[in-house]
Structure 1
Amino acid sequence: MKKLVFASVLFMSVFFAQAQVSVNVNIGTPPNWGPQGYDDSRYYYLPDIDVYYDINQSVFIYDNGGKWIREKRLPSRYRNYDLYSGYKVVLTDYRGDSPYSYHTRHIKAYPKGYVGKPQKKRGEKPKGNNGNHYGNDKGKSKGNNSKKQSDKNHDHSNGNHR
């Protein structure tokens, strides 16, 4: 009889374990350059460069000739933009997938140069890094270094080469 009860309990526990529903909401980790205190928000709007940032997907959203693009990196025209210093508008009242549907409202309310209340960053700015994924760390430039190498033997102060 004990074996029958044990078998029944075992069967029921396996049955209920498989019947449980798991809900996994993937909330992205805000970047270090993001403001503190807004862990439940999904989007930032960066008025200086007119770009959105999707925290959950870790992508920038920007207009490219009327088409909204999602990329891990900022467009090359903003490669020198300092994400740590620029002001971020936290969109606390939007819950959809297309924050740019309110773009006209955002550019009117938050024009280029807009600065609201002071923001404390989530993390420290790494030395020589502007946070925009272009590898602008001093001494660690990504890209073609051949010009830098060839310039070592040139003296451009008077137009003469060594």
Structure 2
Amino acid sequence: MKTLKLLALGIVLFVSTSMQSQVSVNVNIGTAPSWGPAGYSNVDYYYLPDVQAYYDIRASQFIYLGSGNWVRSRYLPGQYRNYNLYNGYKVVLNDYHGKTPYTHYKQHKVKYYKGYKGKPQKSIGNRNYKHNNYSKKGNDHHKKGNGKSGHEDKGHGKGKH
């Protein structure tokens, strides 16, 4: 009988320990990704010129044009499966806090063309880390393009960097 009670107590302790570990899972919703540029706070979106897409920091989603509609997805579209988010330039839209950054897409696409490089950026996380959160879909290997340096943009929903 004592053995049965000890066994039951052991099972209860094991289950409670397992439940505790499930409860203490940390989810970083609304936190800038490790491939994001360091030194910015109160930012909701990045514009990624090389892939002509936005990244919604709060929702942890990419926003891109697909079949004529704006699509929100945890991953970039298939044609960018080899894109390296650490090496690509990110335009920080620190003056836009709405829900549809793509309303300024035509201006962003012209000003921040594919291959655009502004001021040098340092990623929040380790730049040499090759398997980031998006590597499951292959968004982790892209060669840098050359581009001109730009100037900060100061209004009307356009990005600063």
**Over 6 Å off, 4+ runs:** none
* TM-score, normalised relative to structure 1: 0.64
Q: 2-side partners of 1:78 and 1:110: how far apart?
A: 18
1:17-56 matches, within 5 Å, as 28-56=30-58
Give the count of matched residue pairs: 112
Among 86, 90, 93, which residue is 1:91 paired with? 93
Change (3 A) 1:60 1:45: same
Question: How large is the Cα RMSD of the aligned pairs?
Answer: 2.1
Query: Which consecutive residues of structure 1, in runs of 5 or more, have no partner in the other structure?
Result: 1-25, 138-162
Secondary structure of the residue that 1:81 maps to in structure 2? coil
118-127 or 27-36: bigger deviation: 118-127
Q: 2-side partners of 1:83 and 1:131: how far apart?
A: 10
Q: 1-side partners of 2:115 and 2:78: how far apart?
A: 20
1:7-156 matches, within 5 Å, as 28-125=30-127, 127-129=129-131, 131-134=133-136, 136=138
Q: 1-side partners of 2:133 and 2:91: how far apart?
A: 17
C-alpha deviations, 1:2-41, integer Å up to 9, x for none?
xxxxxxxxxxxxxxxxxxxxxxxx9710000000111211
Contact 2:29 2:60 in 1 (8 A): no
Give the letter aligned to residue 48 of structure 1. D
Contact 1:33 1:121 in 2 (8 A): yes
Give the letter aligned to residue 54 of structure 2. Y
**Which is higher, the Rg of structure 1 or of structure 2?**
1
Contact 2:83 2:138 in 1 (8 A): no
Q: 1-side partners of 2:133 and 2:56: how far apart?
A: 15
Give the letter aligned to residue 44 of structure 1. Y
Identity among equivalent pairs (%): 52
